[in-house]
Chain A
Amino acid sequence: MDDPLVREQLVRQQAATLDRRAAAGRGLRQVAVFSVFVVVLGFLYSGYKIFGQAIDDAQTDWPALGSVLPRTDDLNMPPILDILGEFTVTPGGTDQILGRQLFDEAMFTLREATVGFLAGIVVGLAIAIALARSRRLERGLFPYVIASQTIPLIAIAPLVIVWGRKNLDFVPWEWQDWMSVSIIATFLTFFPVAVNGLRGLQSPKPENLELMESYAAGWGQTLRRLRFPAAIPYLFTAAKIAATASVVGAIVGEISAGVGGGLGRRVFLEAQRYTTGPERLYAAVIASAVLGIFVFLVITAAEKFTLGRQGREALS
């Protein structure tokens, strides 16, 4: 074909292939950078611990120096290898290694977080659609959506647990405390979805909205075929925030409401018996961090897959 536009296309396709390869390379590099970062963090920790012995001595000799810097003894900063080793130790009074226990607890917390995350998507999206539908609703309600996040989560968590036990007995299944923790997580997750979702629903350009109008498409059709698909990259950005927030919400919910079985409860207990096993607290905190990173990576992968199939890129 002697069409100059089609000839140009060949060049573009080659460029696109190179782009894709470069993107794959970037992904690998990110993993490498992250691994190096973790290792460097470990060395910094250990290095400070060795170097800090001198500071400790100085603080003992001159109490006036105070204790601004963290103490480096094994109680305050257990050696890294001890912390890692602790995962394979079977704590007294139990019959499983700590790593296995933490994994089970992480799954318990993950369930709370996942339910809270999904509920947050549904609630947040519903709010975003309602606000996108009506200017007046947006102006009237949006400040309250923002204000909702000024309520301290820790303060309402026990309330939600009590409220769930007393008032949610009408559901067709038996209400359990972990479900209340999911509600607490929802409180954190709906917000980014509502805010970003609204931005996304309002993101179509005027000419695209005019196009839909020229087809005599109603609001519902415009939502389904234009606004919602246009909002998907925004929703993924929100989902990444919401996913990590759902883990935070679940852990904080467990701690402040005293719900057992998950990582939040574990962190709380290990903090209480810190002096008899500081490594266990560190291990529990690491497990919590890994869970947060895990859900973030899951959403990021889903984002890459979904947007990639549509020939789009993630919002940066």
Chain B
Amino acid sequence: MTTHAVRIESVSKIFNPGRPNEVQALVDIDLDISPGEFVTLIGPSGCGKSTLLRLIASLIDPTGGTIHVNGKSAEQARLDQDYGMAFQRAGLFDWRTVARNIELPLELMGWKKSERERRSKEMLELVKLGEFGDHHPAELSGGMQQRIAIARSLSFSPSLLLMDEPFGALDEMTREHMQDEVLRLWSETGTTVVFVTHSIPEAVYLSTRVVVMSPRPGRIATTIDVDLGGRNDDTRAETPFFEKVTEVRAALRAVEAA
């Protein structure tokens, strides 16, 4: 049996249990993700998609159930630095140059300086910002900052990439551009990606599987497999894309109506 990249078994999460502000965030979540998959979590706000991502990252602990990443506990995977993470806000350290931002995780892992510098150069080339290593983040646009954040999350070649609405704050054109970037990185690195979004076209365009979630309490309503093949500029204008968008939209409508 191959090891799942992520294995989530009957996970539930209650915030502030036993207090007046108790919130049932997630119930009965079962989800297996195979290596190399690109899975998006989509749903209305309050459906717990970001919570689920944080559970996988072991930034918070589940109230019930178990989560395994690469065959080990989520916490062990975090300690082993099995995953890289990108947030809605790039969250670059503004006192560090772009290159040294990318090197941050490598520093923490005790890489040698020369290796770090070589690696950050490679990563800058990968996100096509080779000439900006010496710049400070404040000098870059939001889209470029987000690219640096993605380069940072990939710098140590994690087998899993967790992305929490990374393009939520970008304008539409930049956003589509970044989606192609992420797809390219995904196919070049073979990383498994778990991607949270609330944009239906984004979910369809990127994923091999869309997980539709429903709110109050958060649970998985349905999963929709997507196979658009090689994407290009025309993909978003073609029938298979529209059909999938319609299917995901219908699923979300059903969720809202319920």
In angstroms, Cα B81 to Cα A13, docked, is 36
**B104 cross-chain contacts in A, Cβ below 8 A:** 215, 225
A5, A16, A216: residue with the most chain B Cβ atoms closer than 10 Å: A5
Instruction: Tell me the bound Cα distance from A39 to B105 in angstroms.
Output: 55
Q: Output the least CB separation between A293 and chain B (Å).
A: 29
**A210 contacts B87, CB within 8 Å?**
yes
Q: Which residues of the partner chain B approach A8 to less than 8 Å between Cβ atoms? A: 141, 144
Does A74 have its Cβ within 8 Å of any Cβ on chain B? no
Q: Which among B108, B139, B144, B147 is the interface contact of A16 at CB below 8 angstroms?
A: B139
Binary CB contact string for chain A from 30 to 43 against chain B (1 if under 8 A, 0 otherwise): 00000000000000
- Nearest CB on B from A42, distance (A): 42
Asked if residues B177 and A216 are in contact (CB atoms below 8 Å), the reply is no
Query: Looking at the complex, which one of A5, A214, A225 makes contact with B85 (CB distance below 8 Å)?
Result: A214
Q: Could you list which residues of chain B lie within 8 angstroms of chain A, going by C-beta atoms?
A: 57, 59, 78-81, 83-85, 87-89, 91, 93-97, 104-105, 107-109, 128-129, 132, 135-141, 143-144, 147, 173-174, 177
Query: Does A5 lie within 8 Å of B81, measured CB to CB?
Result: no
A29 at the interface (CB under 8 A from B): no
Residues of B within 8 Å of A4, CB to CB, are 173-174, 177
Q: CB of A73 within 8 A of chain B?
A: no
List 7 A-B pairs, Cβ < 8 Å: A3-B128, A16-B139, A210-B59, A213-B59, A229-B95, A311-B138, A312-B94
Q: By the criterion CB–CB under 8 Å, are A9 and B91 in contact?
A: no
Tell whether A221 pairs with B108 under 8 Å between CB atoms, given A12-B140, A13-B139, A216-B81: yes
CA A164 to CA B66, docked complex, whole Å: 62
Query: Which residues of chain A are within 8 angstroms of B128 by Cβ–Cβ distance?
Result: 1, 3, 6
A110 and B81 CA atoms in complex are apart in Å by 51
Is A5 touching B147 in the complex (CB atoms < 8 A)? yes
Q: Which residues of B contact A226 (CB under 8 A)?
A: 93
Residues of B within 8 A of A6 (CB): 128-129, 144
Complex: A225 Cα to B79 Cα, angstroms: 18
Name the residue of chain B whose CB is nearest to the CB of A3: B128
Return chain A residues, CB-CB under 8 Å to B88. Answer: 207
Give me 11 other A-B pairs in contact (C-beta within 8 A), A207-B91, A208-B93, A226-B93 excluded: A9-B144, A214-B78, A215-B81, A215-B109, A229-B93, A229-B95, A229-B96, A310-B95, A311-B94, A311-B138, A312-B136
Q: Give min CB distance, A182 to chain B, whole Å.
A: 31
- Taking a contact as CB atoms closer than 8 A, the residue among B87, B108, B135, B144 that contacts A225 in the complex is B108
Asked if B95 and A216 make an inter-chain contact with CB atoms under 8 angstroms apart, the answer reads no
- Residues of B contacting A9 with CB < 8 Å? 132, 139-141, 144
What residue in chain A is nearest B109 (Cβ atoms)?
Answer: A215
- A205 in the interface (beta carbon within 8 A): yes
Find chain B residues with CB under 8 A from A217 CB: 108
A211 within 8 A of B: yes
Q: Which residues from B are CB-within-8-Å of A16?
A: 139
Q: With the chains together, A110 CA to B246 CA distance in Å?
A: 75
List residues 78-120 of chain A with CB under 8 A from any CB of chain B.
none
Task: Give the shortest distance, in Å, between A224 (CB) and chain B (any CB).
Answer: 10
**Are B94 and A12 in contact, CB atoms less than 8 angstroms apart?**
no
What's the nearest-Cβ distance from chain A to residue B136, in Å? 3
Q: Which of A134-150 contact B (CB under 8 A)?
A: none
CA distance A311 to B83 in the complex (A): 30
